[in-house]
Structure 1
Amino acid sequence: MSSFVAQDGVGVRDTLQRLWTPHRMAYIKGENKPEDDREHGCPFCRLVGLSDEDALIVARGRTVYAVLNLYPYNPGHLMVVPYRHVADYTELTADETVELAEFTQHAMTVVRAVSDAHGFNIGMNQGVIAGAGIAAHLHQHLVPRWGGDANFMPVVGQTKVLPQLLGQTRELLAGAW
């Protein structure tokens, strides 16, 4: 099915297909992003009071938990988050630092077992200027990668195709955890 594109006020048929991903607009517009990310308004602090299914929490530890990213870059994109509302990596306790590292290692093992990921991007954005969407509560991203996952869709079409609903991904990862 081809589409019409306005050119000088006239509809011109093009050969492009359209894949609509309206759920991404919420992220682009900053919906669900707290105006006040102090502890009482922090989504990471609120998540721990919900059921694992409702919060998309994959696993809970003593000082950290693993949760799926609501706006994933790739299927299985999760974050390791300390329960304590802390902004900077240097503010973690020794126990939190160790468990964050252990959860990250275990998450890699689980994601590989469930989806045969070829590699990972792992990291955290410290501060708004570094790209942290929720800068007041530290969180480490774990993004699974596969050969060819940066194909024409995200590069040219600026669209990411996710083959699975977040709830289904959470069930697979939690079951394998």
Structure 2
Amino acid sequence: MTGSPDQPSADDQGGVPESPYAPDEVVVQDGVGVPDPFMRLWTPHRMAYIEGENKPTSDKAGSGCPFCRLPGLPDADALIVHRGEAAYAVLNLYPYNPGHLMVVPYRHVADYTELTAAEVTDVSELTRQAMQAVRAVSAAHGFNIGMNQGEIAGAGIAAHLHQHVVPRWAGDTNFMPAIAHTKVLPQLLSETRALLAKSWPTAP
């Protein structure tokens, strides 16, 4: 069953509504700008990141810094995967790829050179364990690992150091991110957190 342009309806099986237009037909809609032949994949959840949701307005430590606040929440609420002695591993709320983790020292410190020897050791060990957990869960082919030091280098929250652990797979840079600037994430973050936490290796 085909609906009108104003009110398309799905078929009896609950499928996607059929388009009343020819595939190459440009539909002119009043008041929405210049029409074009491109389809749109809307990702409104990204607007929270664009508008700076959860980004601190101050460089000071405390509840205004999400990385200071998260350890005080239950693991499931904070998306914390594992807690170490001097640092913790948490899922990125705006991931580049599925399983994108961050390793964060508990102490509010901005620069890598300011870390203590114990913090450096824990950040390094949690990074190694994060790689093992992600490989066990999703057989990642590789990783991008690193930290952006300072806003000029691209740090979203420059005042509290955090190291990214981004899983990579062959073909993960397909047309979606390259052309549509959109990442397809096939799993809820809460489910990813649970899987990684379950598969987190024990320290040697």
Question: How far 1:17 sits from its partner (Å)?
Answer: 3.3
Q: Per-residue CA shift, 1:18-52, capped at 9, x if unaligned?
A: 22111111111212211113102211000000000
Q: Which has the higher contact order (CA 8 A, sep 6+)?
A: 1
Instruction: Tell me the equivalent position of 1:168.
Output: 191
Q: Does 1:26 align with 2:48?
A: yes
The separation in 2 between residues aligned to 1:5 and 1:95, in whole angstroms, is: 62
| Residues 5 and 107 of structure 1, relative CA distance in 2, 3 Å threshold | farther
| Residues 12 and 130 of structure 1, relative CA distance in 2, 3 Å threshold | closer
The separation in 2 between residues aligned to 1:71 and 1:170, in whole angstroms, is: 14
Structure 1 gap segments, 5+ residues each: none
2:178 alignment partner, one of 155, 158, 175: 155
Instruction: Tell me the equivalent position of 2:9.
Output: none
Which of 1 and 2 has greater Rg?
2
Structure 2 gap segments, 5+ residues each: 1-18
The separation in 2 between residues aligned to 1:58 and 1:102, in whole angstroms, is: 14
The separation in 1 between residues aligned to 2:79 and 2:135, in whole angstroms, is: 19
Normalized per residue, which structure has more helix?
1
Question: How far 1:13 sits from its partner (Å)?
Answer: 6.0
Paired residues, what number? 175
Instruction: Tell me the equivalent position of 2:131.
Output: 108
The separation in 1 between residues aligned to 2:36 and 2:104, in whole angstroms, is: 48
2:73 alignment partner, one of 46, 50, 54: 50
3-state SS of 2:134 partner: helix
The separation in 1 between residues aligned to 2:98 and 2:79, in whole angstroms, is: 13
The separation in 1 between residues aligned to 2:184 and 2:35, in whole angstroms, is: 27
* Matches for 1:133-144 after TM superposition, within 5 Å: 133-144=156-167
Instruction: Tell me the equivalent position of 1:38.
Output: 60
Matched residue type, 1:76: G
3-state SS of 2:185 partner: coil
Whether the 8 Å contact between 1:4 and 1:11 is mirrored in structure 2 is no
**What is the Cα-based RMSD across aligned positions, in Å?**
1.9
Structure 1 length-normalised TM: 0.93
The separation in 2 between residues aligned to 1:72 and 1:125, in whole angstroms, is: 15
Matched residue type, 2:65: C
